[in-house]
């Protein structure tokens, strides 16, 4: 197996490496490999071009935390994000990555009490993560001072410009010190991004990552909506309903791999586990066992799966969502090979629906929703397999001693009762519904709503009713499901369910009618 680059080789400190080990991260993504050494070892500004969901937060967050280390009595880093959700996500991720560092990280966004934020900002803060609109509010009320910044980060810069934040961004950048380092991350590189960089950045370096495309056409891709606590039950049902299951189970961390493998073993499955803590000899032994099908289930992390060459897998199961679309493509590419069809199954919890949507769009692939197999369906399939096996034995021929035994049994009881008793004796445990637990229904599509920005407003002769009618006509989403419509001069906002948001975005994207992005950041 080819050796993969580790976080240690990028030059990060032991404190950061311990934090990464605690989170179970093993191998850096493309953008992390390119960005971290540049931030640690050089002084130039950086433009990072990488798709959403490719680990950009850790790419800039890890070296910033490593370089700052000590607390100061002023704000050392400002990270601007387009939405409230991303602000919360980035702030939480940085806090989880800082390890033993005492750096104070504060999120600032619209929709939260401005008084509460003001109270937090009165204390010594090292890193502020915020949306442009709310940052401007605090700047104008002199609650923020960015004249001693060491880092200014624009995360998802193209989204911020699409939403219409260019004026706010320029206003904020104009009120920062000139000797800071500016880091701009964007999935695309439109002319406005270049103009912004040339106006406000010093000498800069552009770091691009390659975008992997899905190449397999033989993989059937589906997802199941389950709670975290029901994932193991769902996994067992998927394995048991198949005539022959031979697959990889992907987990996020080494601890998860060991835990899931142990639970499957306790349930009687032939399973092995493989992750970065194993020696080369251990990996080779496990792979030899798996290739020979002495075990039919291998639980792995992404790094442990690199270099695997197995052409007849029936399934790849994402027990946990991968961190980005590249990892997703790597995972599902393990099945559907050599002309053989395969299935890629992904489990998602209610809070992960948006992440799945981003992966699906970035990978440009269709992942359809299905229901977890029912207990009755699994038992029915087992009985069909058992019946087929019995008929095969009859066709192949049975030894005389078994005929003698059968005749002695049938001399005492009627044939149906005798066969039923034999089946119960041999297969009672395997065919019992008690082997399975009930799985709770979840409905992700109705668990929450999100806000969409629409690049049409009053100057386009749009009012609330006309805008709703326009969106309904283009997307086929019923107008009664579109709420909180706000129409301004050049743009508008609407609120819809996650499911309807996906439908609307897909409709406008395919028709190229307008530019729409999910956005909550400008809520004051």
Looking at residue 146, its pLDDT comes to 94
User: 91-120 pLDDT, tens per residue?
Assistant: 988 988 888 889 999 999 887 888 989 998
Q: What is d(CA 438, CA 319) in angstroms, rounded to the nearest whole number?
A: 18
In 206-253, where does DSSP find H-type helix? Answer: 231-241
Looking at residue 187, its pLDDT comes to 77
Q: In what order do the strands lie in the sheet with 151-154?
A: 105-108, 127-130, 77-80, 151-154, 181-186, 45-49, 204-208
Every domain range in the chain assigned CATH 3.30.70.330: 448-518
In the block, tokens 């191998």 appear at 27
Q: In what order do the strands lie in the sheet with 219-225?
A: 271-274, 297-300, 247-250, 315-318, 342-348, 219-225, 368-369
Looking at residue 214, its pLDDT comes to 47
Q: Of 106-115, 273-282, 294-303, give the lowest mean pLDDT range.
A: 273-282
User: 27-59 pLDDT, tens per residue?
Assistant: 788 889 999 999 999 889 999 987 665 778 899
The third-level CATH classification (topology) of the domain covering 8-208 is Rossmann fold (3.40.50)
Nearest to 432 by CA among 440, 441, 423: 423
Looking at residue 231, its pLDDT comes to 93
Looking at residue 65, its pLDDT comes to 95
261 neighbors 271 (Cβ within 8 angstroms): yes
Nearest to 328 by CA among 308, 354, 302, 310: 302
Q: What is d(CA 91, CA 108) in angstroms, rounded to the nearest whole number?
A: 9
Looking at residue 521, its pLDDT comes to 29
pLDDT value at 88 more than 60: yes
Every domain range in the chain assigned CATH 3.40.50.300: 8-208, 219-372
User: 381-417 pLDDT, tens per residue?
Assistant: 989 988 988 888 888 888 888 888 888 888 888 889 9
Quickly state the pLDDT bin for 457 (edges 50, 70, 90): confident
pLDDT value at 215 more than 60: no
What average pLDDT does the segment 441-460 reach? 74
pLDDT value at 303 more than 70: no
pLDDT value at 516 more than 60: no
Looking at residue 129, its pLDDT comes to 95
Looking at residue 514, its pLDDT comes to 38
60-64, 346-350, 369-373, 466-470, range with greatest mean pLDDT: 60-64
Of residues 359 and 171, more confidence is placed in 171
Of residues 443 and 196, more confidence is placed in 196
The third-level CATH classification (topology) of the domain covering 448-518 is Alpha-Beta Plaits (3.30.70)
Nearest to 372 by CA among 437, 323, 320: 437
- pTM listed for this prediction: 0.52
Looking at residue 51, its pLDDT comes to 67
Q: What is the CA radius of gyration of the chain?
A: 28
Looking at residue 306, its pLDDT comes to 57
Dihedral of alpha carbons 211, 328, 158, 204, sign? negative
pLDDT value at 212 more than 60: no
Quickly state the pLDDT bin for 518 (edges 50, 70, 90): very low
H or E stretch at 300: strand 297-300
Nearest to 492 by CA among 509, 513, 468: 468
DSSP class of residue 159 equals H
- The structural architecture, per CATH, of the domain 219-372 is 3-Layer(aba) Sandwich (3.40)
Q: 181 has which bridge partners?
A: 151
Q: What is d(CA 54, CA 156) in angstroms, rounded to the nearest whole number?
A: 12
Looking at residue 4, its pLDDT comes to 47
| Three-state SS at 333 | coil
* Cα angle 435, 437, 442; round to 5: 150
What average pLDDT does the segment 217-245 reach? 90
pLDDT value at 444 more than 70: no
What average pLDDT does the segment 167-192 reach? 89
């Amino acid at each position: 197996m080819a050796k993969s680059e580790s976080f240690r080789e990028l030059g990060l400190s032991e404190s950061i490496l311990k934090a990464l080990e605690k989170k179970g991260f093993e191998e850096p993504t493309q953008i992390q490999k390119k960005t971290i050494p540049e931030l640690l070892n050089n002084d130039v500004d950086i433009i990072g071009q990488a798709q959403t969901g490719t680990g950009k937060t850790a790419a800039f967050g890890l070296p910033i935390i490593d370089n700052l280390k000590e607390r100061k009595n002023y704000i050392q880093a400002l990270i601007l994000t387009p939405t409230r959700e991303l602000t919360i996500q980035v702030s939480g991720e940085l806090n989880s990555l800082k390890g033993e560092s005492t750096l104070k990280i504060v999120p600032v966004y619209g929709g939260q009490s401005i008084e509460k934020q003001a109270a937090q900002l009165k204390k010594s803060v090292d890193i502020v993560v915020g949306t442009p609109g709310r940052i401007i509010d605090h700047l104008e009320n002199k609650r923020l001072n960015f004249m001693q910044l060491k880092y200014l980060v624009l995360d998802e810069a193209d989204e911020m410009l699409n939403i219409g934040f260019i004026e706010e961004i320029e206003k904020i950048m104009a009120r920062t010190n000139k000797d800071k380092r500016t880091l701009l991350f964007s999935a695309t590189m439109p002319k406005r991004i270049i103009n912004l960089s040339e106006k406000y950045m010093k000498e800069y370096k552009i770091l691009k990552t390659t975008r992997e495309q899905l190449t397999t056409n033989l993989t059937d891709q589906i997802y199941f909506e389950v709670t975290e606590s029901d994932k193991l039950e769902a996994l067992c049902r998927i394995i048991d309903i198949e005539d022959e299951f031979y697959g990889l189970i992907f987990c996020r961390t080494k601890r998860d791999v060991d835990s899931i493998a142990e639970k499957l073993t306790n349930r009687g499955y032939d399973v092995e586990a493989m992750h970065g803590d194993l020696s080369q000899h251990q990996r080779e032994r496990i792979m030899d066992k798996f290739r020979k099908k002495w075990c039919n289930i291998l639980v792995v992390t992404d790094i442990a799966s690199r270099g695997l060459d197995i052409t007849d897998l029936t399934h790849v199961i994402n027990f946990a969502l991968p961190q980005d679309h590249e990892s997703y493509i790597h995972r599902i590419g393990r099945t559907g090979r050599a002309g053989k069809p395969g299935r890629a199954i992904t489990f998602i919890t209610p809070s992960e629906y948006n992440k799945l949507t981003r992966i699906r769009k970035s990978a440009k692939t269709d992942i359809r929703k299905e229901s977890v197999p029912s207990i009755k369906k699994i038992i029915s399939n087992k009985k069909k397999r058992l019946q087929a096996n019995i008929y095969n034995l009859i066709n192949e021929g049975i030894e005389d001693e078994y005929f003698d035994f059968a005749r002695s049994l049938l001399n005492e009881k009627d044939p149906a009762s005798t066969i039923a008793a034999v089946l119960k004796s041999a297969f009672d445990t395997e065919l019992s519904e008690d082997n399975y637990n009930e799985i709770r229904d979840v409905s992700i599509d109705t668990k929450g709503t999100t806000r969409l920005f629409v690049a049409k407003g009053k100057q386009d002769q749009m009012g609330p009713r006309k805008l709703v009618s326009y969106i309904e006509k283009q997307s086929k989403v019923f107008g009664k499901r579109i709420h909180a419509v706000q129409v301004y001069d050049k743009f508008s906002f609407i609120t819809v369910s996650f499911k309807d948001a996906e439908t609307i975005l897909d409709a406008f994207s395919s028709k190229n009618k307008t530019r729409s992005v999910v956005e909550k950041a400008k809520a004051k």
